[in-house]
Structure 1
């Protein structure tokens, strides 16, 4: 590689293996690439296969992809569904460290041979705690990337506090509906007027040995070991929370919303390099062109949320009865128990004003002038 291997900084980026987390870190990877970094983006083997199926372009000089196994039993069928998050988290704890360490060794050997620049830093999703240990073993600085809101990050640091005060786990499932979750949280500095139900989903557990609680605590225990922490948010949006975090960490940076920064930057040959794990149905953009400005309701419940058939029907007829044009994304694994076919009666009702697609280029859709509303699950990377 000559001088290139000596000059270019080389960042290895490791997202949590779900669509929203991948999207956010991929945006950061693009921004680093455009500023002269050599990029190695690490997906699980499962997600990388899905990504290859969904894209026409899969490589770029200086923007490389590597994979590690996820340690899970292969899914039946076409393997184009979101994996179970609880199972993924447990596998991250048990199975990811060794293969990721081997990958860092491989990248080191590649640099010694002059094939790629030496790795200069690791950028890891905040919920991939093994990465910190692997980086320390290879004497690499680590930047933790928080793709979620700052409130989630701060809450993660105080899960032990909630346990110690007896606020979680819930005594039984009646506490989910009896108003208990409306209680204000006064034991986490920086959270003003927050209720229990406003916090991470793990606060809803009734299990004193909940594996997800353990996973969040384990991840939070690594935060102080990072060289720096980067947030996909901005100070004005979460000022109280960010002020508390600034008092806890010496090197903390807010750089969000990443999508805005990326859209303001000429991307040139990066345009064709996307991060969606499902193939995008671009026909919906042409359909939107035929609609009046600000007239269409866009419906998308993200990449992880699921619902039962009855819930799907409620949304379906709610949209039909609204009499508004709508674009509804129903991904292949949205309905619990497999595929679900909407009735011909529904199809006839919405034929002239509704479009259903399995996935779409969401940012292009949201930026389209015909979109007038967004029905969403409120995931941070959708908002």
Structure 2
């Protein structure tokens, strides 16, 4: 499609502290001429739509060119999404399949092809799916730089005995 805007899919980890920074990034991408599809789980989608309805007349203006799309999170109806282990497992097992289907459906619809997946690094398990479909990947760390830096040092902290392999502090380390 000559003259079409480059199409970027943005995929946050489904939690507020991850969604908000990636939504801000999405607005900046639109400001720079990108078409943005913001992909979130159904629960996050519903929360976003509710917030948009409460804070704007129709919600459309607040999105400013960002297309919201929802996908299932892999949890069954009635499952407790506050059970972090179960929630992360559901997201890990199911979201890559839904993302693959969404990218293929976008391509088949005649819309601008997805050129980039800009995703939270916590959604790393979706990167191979995008790459296999010819979509470039950019990982975003939405948290504080100190958290990222510390995560790079976990192996060293275990080797030094500061924490054990479960991330617990060794009380004898400080004595």
* TM-score > 0.5, shorter chain as reference: yes
Shift of the 70–53 alpha-carbon distance from structure 1 to 2, 3 Å rule, reads: same
**Which consecutive unaligned segments of at least 5 residues does structure 2 have?**
none
Between structure 1 and structure 2, the one with the greater Rg is: 1
Q: Which residue of 2 aligns with 1:28?
A: 25
Shift of 1:93: 2.3
Instruction: For 1:170 and 1:14, locate their aligned partners in 2 and report how far apart those are by CA, in whole Å.
Output: 30
CA RMSD of aligned residues (A): 2.8
Q: Which residue of 2 aligns with 1:68?
A: 71
Q: Which residue of 2 aligns with 1:150?
A: 145
Shift of the 49–126 alpha-carbon distance from structure 1 to 2, 3 Å rule, reads: same
Q: Which residue of 2 aligns with 1:49?
A: 46
Moved over 6 A (4+): none
Shift of 1:97: 1.2
Shift of the 37–24 alpha-carbon distance from structure 1 to 2, 3 Å rule, reads: same
Alignment of 1:1-383 (within 5 A): 3=2, 6-56=3-53, 57-59=58-60, 62-75=65-78, 83-110=82-109, 113=110, 116-169=111-164, 178=171, 180=173
**Which consecutive unaligned segments of at least 5 residues does structure 1 have?**
184-383
Instruction: For 2:102 and 2:75, locate their aligned partners in 1 and report how far apart those are by CA, in whole Å.
Output: 19
Instruction: For 1:146 and 1:164, locate their aligned partners in 2 and report how far apart those are by CA, in whole Å.
Output: 25
Shift of 1:170: 7.0
Shift of the 179–27 alpha-carbon distance from structure 1 to 2, 3 Å rule, reads: farther
Instruction: For 2:140 and 2:165, locate their aligned partners in 1 and report how far apart those are by CA, in whole Å.
Output: 30
Output the TM-score relative to the length of structure 2.
0.80
Output the TM-score relative to the length of structure 1.
0.39
Shift of 1:166: 4.5
Q: Which residue of 2 aligns with 1:339?
A: none
Shift of 1:11: 0.9
Shift of 1:21: 0.8
Shift of 1:124: 0.4
Q: Is the 8 A contact 1:92 1:130 kept in 2?
A: no
Shift of the 165–179 alpha-carbon distance from structure 1 to 2, 3 Å rule, reads: closer
Shift of 1:160: 3.4
Instruction: For 2:152 and 2:94, locate their aligned partners in 1 and report how far apart those are by CA, in whole Å.
Output: 24
Shift of the 91–164 alpha-carbon distance from structure 1 to 2, 3 Å rule, reads: farther
Whichever structure has more helix as a proportion of its residues is 2
Instruction: For 2:124 and 2:87, locate their aligned partners in 1 and report how far apart those are by CA, in whole Å.
Output: 13
